Amino acid sequence: MPAAAPAGNDADGMLHITLSQAYHIGWSSTDCRLTRGAQGNLVATCPNSVQSKPADLVFFDPVSDLGMRVSLRAAIGLGGAALALALLSLIPRRRTVASPAA
């Protein structure tokens, strides 16, 4: 995520970083306090000590996680069904032969 120009204030000992990332409640950080900016951006307010290392920001959305798990299971099921149909098409079909006319 590219950051806009960080605005640090030495008086309060905090570094305020406005990111060009939309705010969502799924964002979390152990290093910084995350809030919604004036234009809906993600704003990280970190202690100045964080400048010496990267700030750790994590996103987790339980609905997206559930959607991913459902999609993976559906893909596995669809693949299994396609394989079963392909194998069934390999079974030779028995054709009834008309009996000769008497």
Element of type H or E holding 93: none
Query: Which residues lie closer than 8 Å to 5 by C-beta, 6 or more apart?
Result: 18
Q: pTM above the 0.95 mark? A: no
Structure tokens at 58: 């994590």
- pLDDT by residue for the chain (102 residues), tens only, comes to 444 444 544 556 788 889 999 999 999 998 899 999 999 999 999 988 777 788 888 999 999 999 999 999 999 999 999 999 999 988 887 777 777 765
User: Do residues 14 and 8 make contact, with C-beta atoms less than 8 angstroms apart?
Assistant: yes
Q: Where are the domains of the chain?
A: 7-59, 61-91
For residues 6-15, one letter each, b for 16 or more C-beta atoms within 10 angstroms of the residue's C-beta and e for the rest, the string is: eeeeeeeebb
